[in-house]
Amino acid sequence: MRTSLNNIKETDDHVLGLTAPQDGLLFEAKMILNPELRLDVAWHRQTLNLVQQYGRNQLRAEIQAVHSQLFTRPEHQSFRQSILRFFKR
């Protein structure tokens, strides 16, 4: 189990560009020698991209919810007017 976690950490560091140059070269050589590792790295990249996209979508939804509350609820009317005045200048 520990070896697996170490491999994941090594892959993660490589994909994120956190490895030292010499370690990056060594990892690249390992990928050339081990096609399964190359595939693992590709899947790891894809997973990180999906997680990042999910996070962006979540943040976008939260921002939209705050925007809707601030610009539609009557109790926030003075704030809404202040913001609109700021952008009319």
Domain count for the chain, please give it.
1
- Residue-range definition of the domain harbouring residue 83: 2-88
Per-residue confidence (pLDDT) for residue 88, from 0 to 100: 85
Residue 86 makes CB contacts below 8 A (sequence gap 6+) with none
- Structure token pair of residue 33: 């020698």
Per-residue confidence (pLDDT) for residue 35, from 0 to 100: 96
Per-residue confidence (pLDDT) for residue 59, from 0 to 100: 98
16-44 as b/e: b if 16+ CB within 10 A: eeebeeeeeeebeeebeeeeebeeebeeb
Positions of the chain with pLDDT lower than 70, given as ranges: 1, 89
Per-residue confidence (pLDDT) for residue 14, from 0 to 100: 97
